[in-house]
Amino acid sequence: MKSAMRAAENFAPAGTAVAGVAKHGRGIVHETFLVTLDGGNGRFILQRLNSRVFPDPAALMKNMEHVCRHLRERLGAASGEIAREWRVVRLLPARDNTLFFRDRQGAFWRALSFIDGAVPLEQVKNSADAREAGRALGIFHWLVSDINPAALRVALPGFHDVAQYLQHYDAVQAMDTGGGGESFCRRFIGARRQWAPVLENGLRAGRLQVRVIHGDAKINNVMVSSETGRAVSMIDLDTVMAGPVHFDIGDCLRSCCNTGSEEEEDPSQVRFDLDRCWAALSGYVEAAHRFLTDADYDFFFAAVRRIPFELGLRFYTDYLEGDVYFKVQHPGQNLARALVQFKLTESIEAQEREIRKLIKECRARYGPGRSR
């Protein structure tokens, strides 16, 4: 905490003292703190970046700056509900006017504005929440849809590259001792590895397009108004990248429609809920229909199935490797997380027909060429 305090002081406006620093949020990659300033001078978010995960913090910050600037310009030129309600985080400069503070241990720290009057959507309680999560992603995609994806740097090489995740899994798989949950995971991955690069195949075949995406579009990166529950922002822009919107759609739906939580210890609580799926998908396409193509809809089901599979594979590999990537509170937590994502994938597979029906309905209502 001492190092966080020292870092916080570097981002506090000149002449303003730091009153307190407290751990904040539920991220499992960076360390996040809420900094309160003395004398009612406000608060801000402070983060120590995980440099093992992000080897090039400068690239990540450049991407974030680029996207935030674009969002502000685009909203500034727009009118209506979104322009009024949508909020964009600001990167706060350190004392030396750079966007980083590097401490004596070499760690990178950065500060972000705190979005007042809003909270992260930690849990979807009903279809209205699910709809907001989908709507938030649709708005975000629409707002960044005119950024050239080539303008972004690769901040996280191999992120969402399932072939690379499988290769890494194969390399550490020798550590798999084979019992209980482990043999389930091994069989689960083995049975789906041929199918897994389904979105990459769509890109290669020219059916899907590379666009600017969020990269980590799970529910708790959606900020909702504390008053109205309406989505007002998407935070955590570290992973903004070039890729198919399907990576984000899958992340949104896997986190929205899971009846258990991502940290659920009892896998029997995990089910993919169809009402929430409809709410999130229709919320998404209502905002995103402006740029979606017919081929995009063709790959929606693959997106919904692929992302929980991919995340389960990442959790399981990290468990085998000794928890070197995702933070854990107890041994076995990454195995439990993997089981949740695989159970969710199973539930998605078992309801394929119903999910495809919902996608068809969305497409009929909002898809290309439909009158609204």
Interaction site with ligand GN1 (CB under 6 A):
27-29, 53, 216, 218, 236, 239, 262, 311
Return the one option of Mg ion, ligand GN1, none that residue 28 interacts with (CB less than 5 to 8 A, by type).
ligand GN1
Of 27 and 42, the one with the shorter C-beta distance to ligand GN1 is 27
Cα–Cα distances in angstroms (integers) from residue 56 to residues 51, 59, 90, 239, 341, in the given order: 8, 6, 20, 12, 29
**Residue 40 CB partners (closer than 8 Å, separation 6+):** none
CB atoms within 10 A of CB 323: 17
Of 216 and 286, the one with the shorter C-beta distance to Mg ion is 216
Of 74 and 218, the one with the shorter C-beta distance to ligand GN1 is 218
Least gap, CB of 327 to ligand GN1 (angstroms): 8
Return the one option of ligand GN1, Mg ion, none that residue 262 interacts with (CB less than 5 to 8 A, by type).
ligand GN1
Return the one option of Mg ion, ligand GN1, none that residue 257 interacts with (CB less than 5 to 8 A, by type).
none
CB atoms within 10 A of CB 97: 6
Element of type H or E holding 120: strand 118-120
Burial tier of 325 (Cβ tally within 10 Å: 0-12, 13-18, 19+): middle
236 is a contact residue toward Mg ion (CB under 5 A): yes
248 is a contact residue toward Mg ion (CB under 5 A): no
CB distance 364 to 370 below 8 Å: yes
Give me the residue label for tokens 């020798």.
174
Least gap, CB of 262 to ligand GN1 (angstroms): 6
Of 19 and 53, the one with the shorter C-beta distance to ligand GN1 is 53
Return the one option of Mg ion, ligand GN1, none that residue 53 interacts with (CB less than 5 to 8 A, by type).
ligand GN1
What are the CB-based long-range contacts (under 8 Å, 24+) for 18-25? Answer: 21/46, 25/120, 25/220
Shortest-Cβ-distance residue relative to ligand GN1: 29
Least gap, CB of 174 to ligand GN1 (angstroms): 24
Cα–Cα distances in angstroms (integers) from residue 140 to residues 74, 87, 211, 364, in the given order: 11, 11, 12, 23
Contact region with Mg ion (CB under 5 A), list: 74-82, 98-106, 234-242, 288-296: 234-242
Interface of this chain with Mg ion, residues 210 to 229, rule: CB under 5 A: 216
**Most distant CA pair in the chain, distance:** 62
Return residues touching Mg ion (CB under 5 A).
Answer: 216, 236
